[in-house]
Amino acid sequence: MTTHPPPTTTRRRRWAGLAVLSAGLLVVAMDMTVLNVALPDLAAHLRPTAAQQLWIIDIYSLVLAGLLVPMSALADRWGRRLLLLTGFTVFGGASLLVLLADTPATVIAVRSLLGAGGAMIMPTTLSMIRSLFPDPRERATALGVWAATSSLGMAVGPILGGLLLEHFTWHAAFLVNVPVMAAALAAGLLLLPEARDPAPGTWDATATVQAIVGMVALVWAIKHFAKAGPGDPAAWAALAAALAVLTWFVLRCLRRPDPLLDVRLFARPQFTAGVLAALTSMLAMAALLLLVAQWLQLVLMLSPFMAGIHLTPMAAGAVIASPLAPRVADRIGARAALSGGLAVAGAGLALLHLAPPLVPVVLTALLLIGCGAGALTIASAIIMSGTPAAKAGNAAAIEETAYDLGNVLGVAVLGSTAAALYRARLDTAGITGPTTTELAHARESLGAALEIAERTGTTELAARAGTAFTDSLSLTGLIGALVMLTAAAAVFALVPRRLDLHTQHH
What are the sequence ranges of the domains in the chain? 11-203+260-422+471-494
Choose between 346 and 6: higher pLDDT. Answer: 346
pLDDT, position 181: 92
pLDDT, position 502: 65
Q: Is the pLDDT confidence value at 430 over 60? A: yes
Instruction: Give the least confident one: 124-138, 283-297, 377-391.
Output: 377-391
How far apart (Å, rounded) are the C-alpha atoms in residues 174 and 72? 25
Q: Is the pLDDT confidence value at 234 over 80? A: yes
- List all residues 6 or more positions away from 151 whose beta carbon is below 8 Å from its beta carbon: 29, 285, 314, 315, 318, 319, 322, 370, 373, 376
Q: pLDDT tens-digit profile of 83-117? A: 999 999 999 999 999 888 888 899 999 999 999 99
DSSP 377-400: HHHHHHHHHTS-GGGHHHHHHHHH
Query: What share of the chain in percent tops pLDDT 70?
Result: 95
User: Which residue, among 123, 126, 127, has the nearest Cα to 195 in the 3D structure?
Assistant: 127
pLDDT, mean over the chain: 84
pLDDT, position 481: 92
Q: Is the pLDDT confidence value at 281 over 60? A: yes
**Mean predicted confidence (pLDDT) in 16-38:** 82
Instruction: Give the least confident one: 159-163, 359-363, 414-418.
Output: 159-163
pLDDT, position 89: 95
How far apart (Å, rounded) are the C-alpha atoms in residues 121 and 31? 13
Q: How confident is the model at residue 504 (pLDDT cuts 50, 70, 90)?
A: low
pLDDT, position 506: 46
pLDDT, position 174: 86
**Mean predicted confidence (pLDDT) in 467-489:** 91
Q: How confident is the model at residue 158 (pLDDT cuts 50, 70, 90)?
A: confident
**Mean predicted confidence (pLDDT) in 151-157:** 78
**Mean predicted confidence (pLDDT) in 122-126:** 85
- Which pTM value belongs to this model? 0.81
Choose between 486 and 139: higher pLDDT. Answer: 486
Instruction: Give the least confident one: 29-38, 164-173, 315-324, 400-409.
Output: 29-38
Q: How many CB atoms are located within 10 Å of the residue 453 CB? A: 23
pLDDT, position 492: 93
Q: How many helices (H) and strands (E) does the chain have?
A: 20, 0
Superfamily name with CATH number, domain 11-203+260-422+471-494: MFS general substrate transporter like domains (1.20.1250.20)
Instruction: Give the least confident one: 30-34, 175-179, 234-238.
Output: 30-34
How far apart (Å, rounded) are the C-alpha atoms in residues 485 and 482? 5
Q: How confident is the model at residue 3 (pLDDT cuts 50, 70, 90)?
A: very low
Q: Is the pLDDT confidence value at 505 over 60? A: no
- List all residues 6 or more positions away from 351 whose beta carbon is below 8 Å from its beta carbon: 361, 364, 365, 368, 477
pLDDT, position 4: 45
How far apart (Å, rounded) are the C-alpha atoms in residues 257 and 234? 36
Distances (CA, A) of 504 to 137, 168, 386, 387: 10, 49, 7, 8
Instruction: Give the least confident one: 153-167, 257-271, 353-367, 471-485.
Output: 153-167
Buried b (16+ CB within 10 A) or exposed e, 58-82: bbbbbbbbbbbbbbbbbbbbebbbb
Q: How confident is the model at residue 503 (pLDDT cuts 50, 70, 90)?
A: low
Q: How confident is the model at residue 386 (pLDDT cuts 50, 70, 90)?
A: low
User: Which residue, among 79, 55, 337, has the nearest Cα to 223 in the 3D structure?
Assistant: 55
**Mean predicted confidence (pLDDT) in 135-141:** 80
Q: Is the pLDDT confidence value at 213 over 90? A: yes
